């Protein structure tokens, strides 16, 4: 399959914390053949390449407000105690990266956007941005990077994964939904307009959903907000009868983000 990314040798992604290099097998759109790629944690020497890849991705957008502009300082800030950046390389050329952040009480606001308890802040992990080279898009790398980051976060004792994505950036939030995140909040961010706030409990079963459901077009922010305020979660990218992309919402069957139990105690 074109978007079937496989880990080679059965290596545990958490070994990246020890400086290991992870091998991935991925479809190469250029050669139309599967190719081995290397995955490792970035160092300060890689910051310029990561920033350049990010800027190319942003320049390709018709609407630049869809993607936050990240600077070299942002990438440097995610090396070390504050998180890490996972890079994917084709023969030493960076073709994708994913940022993992570990916020503290001083700089967390995404958790509050989805009403997580204050005592859970130190257990949060941010999936804080990812870019894939244009020639490698559609091959599953963004989804693979999300899964790797979830494993790394779990190894560090983090219990909640959060991410922000522009509603019109449906490829990104759809990929996050495919690894278990759900749209649980909405807020204006970065001075760029509305962002979905996606959340998942790391290492737990995907939050169960129950009917009835609702559907909101990507540009209908008012309806999206009303559904979220009414207790619905966004869980899928769908098409309306007219062929427009939309978000499907449903009520959660599991409501407690810490215990995983329903209000009824199930």
- Domains in the chain with CATH codes: 39-206 (3.40.630.30), 208-266 (no CATH)
Reading phi first (left if > 0) and then psi (alpha if -120 to 50, else beta), residue 91 is in: left
pLDDT band at 1 (very low <50, low <70, confident <90, very high): low
- Give the range among 4-8, 105-109, 130-134, 157-161 with minimum mean pLDDT: 105-109
168 phi and psi, to 5 degrees? -75, -10
CA proximity to 206, closest of 234, 237, 181, 176: 181
Is residue 80 scored above 90 in pLDDT? Answer: no
Size (the chain), residues: 266
In the predicted model, what is the mean pLDDT of the chain?
A: 89
- Angstrom distance (rounded) from CA 29 to CA 2: 8
What is the rounded CA–CA span in Å between residue 258 and residue 263? Answer: 12
d(CA 215, CA 238): 8
Which residues are 187's β-sheet partners? 195
Q: What is the pLDDT of residue 87?
A: 98
What is the percent of the chain with per-residue pLDDT over 70, rounded to a whole number? 92
Rounded distance between C-alpha atoms, residue 68 and residue 59, angstroms: 11
Question: Range with the lowest mean pLDDT among 129-143, 195-209, 213-227?
Answer: 195-209
Q: What is the mean pLDDT of residues 196-206?
A: 91
Residue 47 pLDDT: 97
Q: 78: pLDDT confidence band, cut at 50, 70 and 90?
A: very high
Q: What mean pLDDT do residues 168-180 have? A: 93
For residues 256-265, average pLDDT: 47
Q: State the pLDDT confidence band at 263, using cuts at 50, 70 and 90.
A: very low
Are the C-beta atoms of residues 86 and 149 closer than 8 Å to each other?
A: yes
| Residue 172: predicted pLDDT | 94
> What are the CA-CA distances from residue 262 to residues 210, 241, 247, 256 (Å)?
12, 34, 24, 6
In the predicted model, is pLDDT for residue 84 greater than 90? yes
Give the model's confidence band at 105: pLDDT under 50 very low, under 70 low, under 90 confident, else very high: low
Q: How far is CA 171 from CA 99, 140, 162, 166, in A?
A: 17, 11, 17, 10
Residue in this structure with the two tokens 């997580």, named with its chain if needed: 116
pLDDT over 90 percentage in the chain: 65
Over range 165-170, report the average pLDDT: 93
pLDDT, greater one: 136 or 242:
136
**Would you say 100 and 16 are in contact if contact means Cβ atoms under 8 Å apart?**
no
The pLDDT of residue 178 is above 80: yes
Asked whether the predicted pLDDT for residue 212 surpasses 80, the reply is no
Look at the block and give the residue holding tokens 């939904």: 177
pTM: 0.90
Taking only the tens place, the pLDDT of each residue in 16-35 is: 999 899 999 998 888 888 99
205's tokens = 């079963």
Residue 143 · residue 169 · CB < 8 Å: no
Indicate whether 206 pLDDT > 90: no
């Amino acid at each position: 399959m074109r978007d079937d990314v496989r880990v080679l040798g059965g290596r545990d992604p958490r070994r990246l914390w020890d400086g290991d290099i992870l091998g991935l097998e991925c479809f190469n759109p250029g050669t139309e053949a599967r190719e081995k790629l290397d995955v490792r944690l970035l160092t300060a020497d890689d910051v310029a390449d990561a920033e350049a890849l990010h800027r190319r991705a942003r320049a390709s957008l018709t609407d630049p407000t869809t993607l936050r502009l990240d600077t070299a300082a942002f990438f440097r800030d995610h090396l070390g105690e504050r998180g890490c950046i996972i890079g994917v390389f084709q023969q030493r050329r960076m073709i994708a990266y994913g940022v993992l952040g570990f916020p503290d009480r001083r700089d967390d606001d995404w958790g509050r956007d989805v009403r997580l308890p204050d005592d859970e802040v130190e257990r949060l992990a941010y999936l804080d941005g990812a870019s894939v080279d244009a020639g490698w898009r559609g091959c599953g790398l963004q989804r693979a990077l999300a899964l790797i980051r979830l494993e790394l976060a779990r190894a560090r004792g983090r219990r909640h994964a959060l991410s922000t994505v522009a509603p019109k950036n449906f490829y990104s939030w759809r990929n996050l939904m495919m690894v278990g995140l759900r749209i649980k909040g909405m807020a204006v961010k970065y001075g760029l307009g509305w962002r979905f706030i996606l959340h998942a409990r790391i290492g737990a079963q995907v939050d169960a959903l129950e009917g009835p459901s609702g559907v909101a077009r990507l540009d209908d922010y008012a309806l999206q907000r009303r559904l979220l305020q009414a207790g619905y979660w966004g869980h899928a990218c769908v098409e309306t009868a007219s062929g427009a992309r939309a978000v499907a919402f449903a009520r959660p069957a599991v409501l407690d983000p810490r215990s995983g139990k329903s209000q009824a105690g199930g």
